[in-house]
């Protein structure tokens, strides 16, 4: 069982009202890969430039992530700078350096076509679809995206969503894609568009999951201190697929568990800058938080509840 994660590895500069980091290991594929590695074997398909440090590479290797697909291209590693506002729920992108991702054409290393699950982190939908189509018999694939591709490559994105088992979008993206303020309606519209399962990430409020015959919602973890929200959605995706990669059969009950594992991992992600908390996080801490989620969402069933 192996989770393939494809997307951007980047170098980030992040400023919050309380602190600032430079040259931080970042990128959506990075966060997802590190989260997935808590559960299963992970393969990383991404491009970096000649400036990508041995130290950053070692951070990924220490988590036993297979880097055979992490190619070094002539040019610069992608870079991203952002500044968060006081409430941490909104941010300004200060700059984006696309670097080697400008012309990256992902090629699966030999044998990777047999990956059992795959996460296509935000990237051009045609590249995402090519990777999905190169897989022989994946048990689950998930596509994420960002506003940039909703605005600039919508028909291709819709086509790619039809090829994925799960589509992950955040709340504002869901609303934009479906042109409705109702999250429930937006989720239904995405399903009608061909996605088999839709995960709507609600930030601090948790996440909702919709499929043709299921609806599930997980709350956010009640964190008292958020250090840096960057990458929460990607570690959510990595946790979701990482867990699903380990189950015998992907049933609705397993998908619900995966949403909780994903929420637990994402709640740790925001406890540190970039994916730094993922580098120290242990599986037993995730399991403990799973139990906490259960404790603070459980209530008695109706037949227990009536007098």
Q: Which residues are at the interface with a second copy (CB under 8 A)?
A: 86-89, 181-185, 187-188, 202, 204-206, 208, 215-220, 222-226, 246-247, 253, 256-257, 259-260, 287, 290-291, 294-302, 305-307
Nearest approach in angstroms of CB 256 to a second copy is 4
Site of tokens 């399991």: 287
**Which of 252, 256, 264 shows the shortest CA–CA distance to 290?**
264
Beta bridge partners of 201: 170, 207
CA distances from 18 to 86, 233, 280 (A): 9, 22, 22
Nearest approach in angstroms of CB 275 to a second copy is 22
Nearest approach in angstroms of CB 245 to a second copy is 12
Six-digit token string for 261: 């594992």
**Which of 9, 58, 49 shows the shortest CA–CA distance to 33?**
9
Of 23 and 297, CB closest to a second copy = 297
CA distances from 200 to 59, 63, 300 (A): 30, 28, 26
Of 154 and 226, CB closest to a second copy = 226
CA distances from 232 to 46, 158, 202, 274 (A): 19, 24, 11, 9
Site of tokens 């992950």: 168
Of 187 and 239, CB closest to a second copy = 187
Of 113 and 290, CB closest to a second copy = 290
Nearest approach in angstroms of CB 17 to a second copy is 9
Of 98 and 216, CB closest to a second copy = 216
Nearest approach in angstroms of CB 98 to a second copy is 32
**Which of 218, 195, 13, 38 shows the shortest CA–CA distance to 120?**
195
Site of tokens 């429930």: 184
| DSSP letters spanning 212-272 | TTEEEEEPPP--S--S--TTHHHHHHHHHHHHHTTSSS--HHHHHHHHHHHHHHHHHHTTS
Of 2 and 180, CB closest to a second copy = 180
Of 86 and 95, CB closest to a second copy = 86
Of 109 and 220, CB closest to a second copy = 220
Of 55 and 87, CB closest to a second copy = 87
Nearest approach in angstroms of CB 267 to a second copy is 11
User: Which stretches of the chain are assigned E, i.e. beta strand?
Assistant: 2-6, 10-15, 20-26, 41-48, 70-72, 78-84, 91-97, 117-120, 140-144, 166-170, 197-201, 207-211, 214-218
Q: Which residues have C-beta within 8 Å of that of residue 172, sequence separation ≥ 6?
A: 147
Nearest approach in angstroms of CB 178 to a second copy is 11
Nearest approach in angstroms of CB 134 to a second copy is 30
CA distances from 68 to 35, 64, 112 (A): 18, 12, 10
Nearest approach in angstroms of CB 100 to a second copy is 37
């Amino acid at each position: 069982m192996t989770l393939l994660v494809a997307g951007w590895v980047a170098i980030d500069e992040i400023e919050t009202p309380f602190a600032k980091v430079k040259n931080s290991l970042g990128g959506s594929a990075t966060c997802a890969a590190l989260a997935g590695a808590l559960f299963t074997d992970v393969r990383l398909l991404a491009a970096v430039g000649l400036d990508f440090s041995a130290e950053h590479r070692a951070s990924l290797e220490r988590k036993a992530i297979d880097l055979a697909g992490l190619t070094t291209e002539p040019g610069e590693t992608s870079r991203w700078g952002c500044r968060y506002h006081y409430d941490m729920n909104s941010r300004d992108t200060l700059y984006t350096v696309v670097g080697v991702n400008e012309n990256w054409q992902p090629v699966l290393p030999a044998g990777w076509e047999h990956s059992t699950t795959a996460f296509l982190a935000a990237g051009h939908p045609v590249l995402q679809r090519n990777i999905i189509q190169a897989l022989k018999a994946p048990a689950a694939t998930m596509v994420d995206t960002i506003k940039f591709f909703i605005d600039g490559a919508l028909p291709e994105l819709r086509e790619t969503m039809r090829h994925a088992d799960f589509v992950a979008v955040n709340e504002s993206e869901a609303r934009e894609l479906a042109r409705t303020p109702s999250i429930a309606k937006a989720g239904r519209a995405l399903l009608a568009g061909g996605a088999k399962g839709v995960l709507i990430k609600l930030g601090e409020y948790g996440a909702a999951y919709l499929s043709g015959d299921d609806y599930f919602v997980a709350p956010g973890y009640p964190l008292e201190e958020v250090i840096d929200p960057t990458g929460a959605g990607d570690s959510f995706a990595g946790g979701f697929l990482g867990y699903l990669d380990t189950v015998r059969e992907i049933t609705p009950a397993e998908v619900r568990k995966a949403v909780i594992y994903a929420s637990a991992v994402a709640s740790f992600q925001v406890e540190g800058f970039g994916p730094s908390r993922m580098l120290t996080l242990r599986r037993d801490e995730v399991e403990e938080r799973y139990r906490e989620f259960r404790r603070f969402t459980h209530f008695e069933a109706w037949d227990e509840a009536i007098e």
